[in-house]
Amino acid sequence: MVNGQKKEQPFRILGIGRHHSLQHGDMLRAAHTVSLTKAERHFSDALDLAFQQKALAWQLRAASSLARLRRTQDRTSEGRDLLASVYNTFTEGYDLHDLVVARSLLNELA
């Protein structure tokens, strides 16, 4: 706190917090020793932060991770709808790696 006000964490401004949530969520999903709801929370937090910061690439990564997780939870259509909503906001760059991976995932989830 600075002068009675909560100090904004600089890593959130730079997006490192979002990246951390994505990495942490991926690790939790892969470990299978912890609740998948924790992984889902991290992915959702990362997605929310990416939306707040209007960071489309991070939205796509978070939505892709969340869609993969939801596939393992038998919530495939929910994951596909989420990923499609983010993917469809792009108007160019379809040859970029993240968009190619997302398109492939959408095809798998169809």
How many angstroms separate the CA atoms of 19 and 57, rounded? 11
pLDDT (tens digit per residue) in 67-109: 999 998 899 999 999 999 999 999 999 999 999 999 999 999 9
How many angstroms separate the CA atoms of 18 and 31, rounded? 20
pLDDT (tens digit per residue) in 46-69: 999 999 999 999 999 999 999 999
How many angstroms separate the CA atoms of 44 and 82, rounded? 11
User: Whole-model pTM?
Assistant: 0.71
CATH C-level class of 10-109: mainly alpha
> Where are the chain's structural domains?
10-109
The first and second tokens of residue 88, run together, are 């469809």
